[in-house]
Each structure stands twice: as C-alpha cells, then as structure tokens.
A and B are shown apart, each in its own frame.
Chain A
Amino acid sequence: MKTDTVISAKDLSLTFQTGDGPVHALKDVTLDIAKGDFVSFIGPSGCGKTTLLRAMADLEHPTSGTMTVNGTTAEEARRARAYGYVFQAAGLYPWRTIAGNISLPLEIMGYDKAEQARRIQRVLELVELEGFEKKYPWQLSGGMQQRASIARALAFDADLLLMDEPFGALDEIVRDHLNEQLLKLWERTNKTICFVTHSIPEAVYLSTRIVVMSPRPGRISDVIESPLPRERPLDIRDSPEFIEVAHRVRDGLRAGHSDDV
C-alpha cells in the first residue's frame, strides 16, 4: 500500500441473505484509490458499484476481506467524518432553507455559529449558489438542489467525496453543466472523488480512472487509466482519445455481460 492511498479494498466480498438465497453483491474485489484521484465506477445494475461505495462509507458491512479508508477501518473513518456522501436524491429537508440544510451536518458535528456561517458561504460559492441561502428547496430546480446537496457534503471539509449517481435523475443539459462544475470543483479542492454512474460519457469525461464492473457476482472486470489531461473542456468529448477510452469502457461492459446475454 502506497502512502498516498486513500481507499484500499482487499479480497472484498459481500453477500446479502435474501428469501431467494444468497446474493453475491461483491466477490473478491481488490482496488486501491490514490489521493486526488477521480475514480468512476460503471457497470450494469446489480454489478455492486453502489454496494462497493456504501462499503467504503460503512453503510454496508463486507462479509469477508478488508476495507481501509485513510488507513483505518471504514467504521473508524465514518466516525471521524472522513468523507462526504452525495446520494442520488438531493434529500434536502423541506423545512430548512438552503443555508439551514448545509448547516445540518455542521450542527451535528458541533461547529459554532460563526464557523457555520463562514463555511456555508464558502461552499455555496464553490457550487455557484451564492445568494440562495435563504431560499427553500422547493424554490430551486432539481439541478440546483443537487448542487446544494453537494455543498452540504463539502461543508465539513472531508478530503474524500463519495457520490452515488448524483446526476442520474437530471436531464442531459443540466448534467453536462454539473459535470463541468464538478471537475472545476475537484480541481480547486484537490479532493479524492469516487463516483458511481451508468453513463459512459460521464465516466470518461470526469475520471482519472474508470473501474468497470460486471454482475453476478459483482466484480471488477477492468480498470482504465485515463490518458486525458486534467484540464477538460466539454468538447474534449469529440477527441479521438476520448472516443478510444469510451470504446474500451464499452468493451469492458460487454465482456462482463457476455456470459448471460
């Protein structure tokens, strides 16, 4: 394990016991994620990408193998508030303003009022929502709500950001815009980001590494290092390099599927 490894999974397996017998959500997954990486997890539904992310967050408990986050167990990392987690739904509380929603984790973690206010301003600026602090969630569009939820995950300065299909419910145009913003944000904050998606262009556009997964049992079928530069304008998606990486991802997905299609 290198010193700048943030997440390390070794021979990780996770089995759910269901009425229809055991479901192998993850089987023998081994993966290291380095500090500052933007790693996307892509695969068809049932491939365990979300389960893997939830295991990093200590929301699921592996049946065997080890998972370390920042050199500690996933549970210790969660207790130390080592990561911010963004869910598919924004999950903002309707009875709190945008500022109130962002201060929610800060209140829980015991920051004082002045520090809360300072951090709310900083993260609102990061997601370009300045001036919306007094609005209620229903007054914002879906894309803005999701940005507020990202701001909330950033507010307590965790170095690790775990994102579970955060833009999955948004339309293409909003999604492009948010992808661009997310890259800018990653550039400025130098965080490590794990990003679950089922969109190939999204994964290729955002990531430094793409983890391709396949189902039954959930496993990693390919890990692709992106040759794209860190600086990525939207039209990089028409470049030959981009198209080549996208091809490799598609091939990886097809290979994982070949046994049951």
Chain B
Amino acid sequence: MRQATLPILTVVAAIFALWYLGAVWLNSDWAYDKAVRLDKDLTFSEMVIDTWSQDKPKLPAPHQVAAELWDTTIDKRITSKRSLVYHSWITLSSTLLGFVLGTGLGIALAIGIVYNRTMDMSVMPWVIASQTIPILALAPMIIVVLNAIGISGLLPKAIISMYLSFFPVVVGMVKGLRSPDNMQLDQMRTWNASPTQTFWRLRLPSSMPYLFTSLKVGMAASLVGAIVGELPTGAVAGLGARLLAGSYYGQTIQIWSALIMAAVLAALLVATIGMVQRATLKRMGLS
C-alpha cells in the first residue's frame, strides 16, 4: 500500500496539470473576446488567471469545481434544493431500490436458467437482447408508460436501474450456480439429496465469489440507470436533474461538480460491496 502512494500521487498531479492546461486552452478564446470588447490588452498571465476564474467556462478549473462542491455540500443545509447532498440522496435512493430489484430479478432468472432446460434455451438470448437497446431510448418510454398507469416518483427510475443492473447478476450467477464440479454433484447424488438441498448447501455457497463480482458491476450500472432516468423526465431533483439543468443554463461548474459527486458515489457504493465481499469470502474460506 505504502509503495503505491507515490505513483498514485504522481498520476493525480499529472491529471491536475493537464486539467489546468486544458482550461487555459479551451477558455482563452472567451478571455480574449472579453478583452477585445473592453478594448483592453491582455498579458499572458492575466489571460491565464481569467481562464481559471470565468463564470461559465467551457472547462472549469479544478479549484472552481472544488469550491462549488464545498459550497453545495458543506455550506448548504441538506434539505435545501441547492444542496448536492440532497440531490445525491434522491439519486442514491432510486439507485439502491433499483439495485435490490435488479439483483433479485437477476438471481431469480439465473436459478430458472440453471434448473429449467426450457428457460436455459430461451431466456439468455432475450436477456442479451435487452441490453442492446440503448437505455436512453428506452428510459422515456418506461417513465411515460408507468406514469400513464399512475406510477411516478421513485419507482420508474428504480426500474431503469433494475433494467441495467440485473444483467451482470444473471450472467454471473448462471456461471456461479454451475461452478460446482461433477464430483461435488455426484456426491450429492450418492446422498440422494433433493434439488433444493443441493441448491442451498452446494450451488448457492459455491456461487458467492461470482455473485459479488456481479454485484459490483450491477451497482455501478444501477447508478447510471438512476441518473439516466432523471434526464428525460424533467425531474427537478437528483444528480441527473442537476446535470440537465446545468447544461440548459450553461452552468458547466455545476455539471462538473454533479459528475464528480456521481463518481464519488459510485466509488463508495462499489467499495462497500468490496468490503462485504472480502469479509464474506474470507469467512467462507473461498478467497
């Protein structure tokens, strides 16, 4: 861990340097435009300072995003409509609901595929086909249809999350439930174990490493689903709504801070699953 610190810091420093250079490069046109309108000459250093402190830059500088993040998370009350914590919570709640639904659906389908020959032959192509439809095209339909039958609020967004997150769970769990080898299955036969006993005592415990890997992918997909679900609906709250509002009004700093918040959220969620994974697999002797 300790040896990794220096390389990581080097990379982070390089990213920040590139970011600041990019901000100069992309925002300099606007800086010169303003100067021309005011009939003023810009020195190079004035130009650079300007590109790092514009109100609506093409690419905001890191410190501007950091300031915005600080302002909207620490300084605002979390009940405020301008608090990023509040918007994150809206997105997080539908992410988590969608993740639970997607995991449930994924495991149920995987059990069906492993235990039922008809499902084995028929379901997988549909599961794969479902993921080839761009979610951006599908999301408005889901929201409109569900709205028409009186379902609105959290659930439509959660269903879009579910739609994205069940896929890695199905694929992983089918492989996981099939991971016991022939000898282990024969052994169950010699004890005349029922399919249910074989499932709970052998197949399900054996699938745990596969399940956790799938859950990590599924969780990230779920967050993407929740954000996408907020984009086409004119949602007033959530990270997706912040992104959309930001792009309407050219608030690039707001967009970037929402993006960073989404990334932090994803990292925290995946890291949480990773911790549960390590603890569980270690306890089970599978790691």
Contact = CB atoms under 8 A, between A and B. Distances in A.
B215 to A, nearest CB: 18
Contact of A85 (B187, B205, B286): B187
B188 to A, nearest CB: 8
B276 to A, nearest CB: 16
Given A95-B284, A108-B201, 8 more contacts: A78-B189, A78-B190, A79-B192, A83-B190, A85-B187, A93-B205, A95-B285, A107-B201
5 contacts: A79-B192, A83-B190, A91-B183, A93-B202, A93-B205
B186 interface: yes
Given A89-B183, A138-B285, A95 B205 contact: yes
A131 interface: no
B198 to A, nearest CB: 9
Contacts of B284: 94-95
Contacts of B192: 78-79, 81, 108
Contacts of B191: 81, 104-105, 108-109, 156
A132 interface: no
Interface in B176-190: 183-184, 186-190
Interface string A82-100: 0111010101011100000
A133 to B, nearest CB: 16
Interface of A: 57-59, 78-79, 81, 83-85, 87, 89, 91, 93-95, 104-105, 107-109, 136-138, 156
A138 B197 CA distance: 24
A213 B188 CA distance: 28
A105 B184 CA distance: 12
A95 B197 contact: no
A191 to B, nearest CB: 15
Contacts of B193: 108
A134 B186 CA distance: 26
Contacts of A87: 183, 186-187
A129 to B, nearest CB: 18
A177 B218 CA distance: 51
Contacts of A136: 285
Tell me whether chain A's interface is mostly helix, strand or loop, or mixed. Answer: loop
A81 to B, nearest CB: 6
Contacts of B183: 87, 89, 91
Contacts of B186: 59, 85, 87
Contacts of A95: 205, 283-286
A59 B190 contact: yes
Interface residues of B, number: 18
Interface in B80-129: none
Contacts of A94: 284-286
A95 B201 CA distance: 10
B228 to A, nearest CB: 38
A51 B230 CA distance: 61
Contacts of B286: 94-95
B176 to A, nearest CB: 14
A108 B184 CA distance: 14
B190 A137 contact: no
A136 B191 CA distance: 22
Contacts of A81: 191-192
Nearest to B201: A104
Contact of A91 (B184, B189, B283, B285): B184
Contacts of A79: 192
Among A78, A104, A137, which residue has the most Cβ atoms of chain B within 10 A?
A104
A101 B219 CA distance: 34
B119 to A, nearest CB: 26
A166 B284 CA distance: 25
Contacts of A104: 191, 201
A57 B201 CA distance: 21
Nearest to A89: B183
A57 B190 CA distance: 7
Interface in B11-45: none
Interface in B193-225: 193, 197, 201-202, 205
Interface in B239-287: 283-286
A151 B95 CA distance: 49
A120 B192 CA distance: 20
